[in-house]
Structure 1
Amino acid sequence: MKIILASSSAYRQTILKKLHIPFSNVTPNIDESSVATESISDQVERLAKNKALSISSQSAYKDSYVIGSDQLASFKGQVLGKPGDFATAKQQLLMFSGQTVRFYTGLCLVHAANNELSQIVETFDVTFKTLTESQIAIYLKIEQPYDCAGSFKCEGLGIALFESLNGRDPNTLIGLPLIALIDLFNTMSVNLFDYMQKDELNM
């Protein structure tokens, strides 16, 4: 069985490695523009699907299971982008102080040869502590999460900023919900335990 992760994200690749299954990654080429009338949930669902289809439609990957994923963060109804620099990240985190940010992650699994497609949108809520400017500045100087939506890395020092985390899978925050992914494989009658690299476990 061939599995393709339709992503160039090092974060998603690291998460998928947790399952000890062989996979390759291929960078999708799609238009990621938003649609004015589209909800955040619909947008991540559409983009995850388009990423998976852009790879599975290629003849070389037609018989592969292709995983597409897309994530957006929302605060008070507004989509949050990647900060890009210290000043923007500081502004975002000051805004989040004592507040809750919701993350939407669209996940899609496609097997073109079998004409199978399954998808889901997972949500995850992050509630922040009341933060001071000094705390935020120290955090940003240490971790520099300028390429992360929401201006933090939950798998790193970002955990120090949080009051609580609410969702069924913490991997969702990093962009690839594994519980949901296993569910999608199950809908296609694929048991990932059968494909885990047992040689690594001396089995």
Structure 2
Amino acid sequence: MTTFRPFRPDDLNRVSKCNLDPLTETYDLSFYVQYYTKWPSLFQVAEDTNGNIVGYIMGKVESSPDYFKFSEHYLPWHAHITALTVAPEARRSGVGSILTEFLEKAADAHEALFVDLFVRKSNTRAINFYEKLGYSVFRVVKDYYGDNVNDPTANGEDAYDMRKSMKRDAKGEHVRADGRDHAVNPEDVF
């Protein structure tokens, strides 16, 4: 049985098991602490019966800075999934879905218009997972990932910027069906 609870700072020493997947983005300790300090309600962990962390989600709520206000790439108030990862032994058990639903509820509580995330274009498993949860590709960010895990000699790998409308965007004005046809450069993304 898996239990879910808010992240605690002492969990930093226990999440490494979840970060072993080569497609999981990992960060330095200060980055995790920053998220915990600024957005504690958007940081949740899943534990197995032995107390091992088998998954976590880390997110934030924000809008683009004011200098982006008149840009076509301006992002209004939204939530962002910075990291979602589940240990191999807990995959396909619903842990990822529950963690994502948790963040979506927090996004609604923060009155976010949508939740977005970035995923490698080659990570079809993750893309299919998010699509089943109602996310769609909003745009392609060219060469977003500086390292290309599929071809280290190539330029960066493209990312899909995926979104799902929250209650505040009841008309779906911040999502689109043809997102794969809309490409932007990394500098256009906040």
TM-score (norm: length of structure 1)? 0.30
Higher strand content, 1 or 2: 2
TM-score (normalised: structure 2): 0.31
Structure with more of its chain in helix, by fraction = 1
Say which one has the larger Rg. Answer: 1
Q: Which has the bigger relative contact order, CA under 8 A and spacing at least 6? A: 1
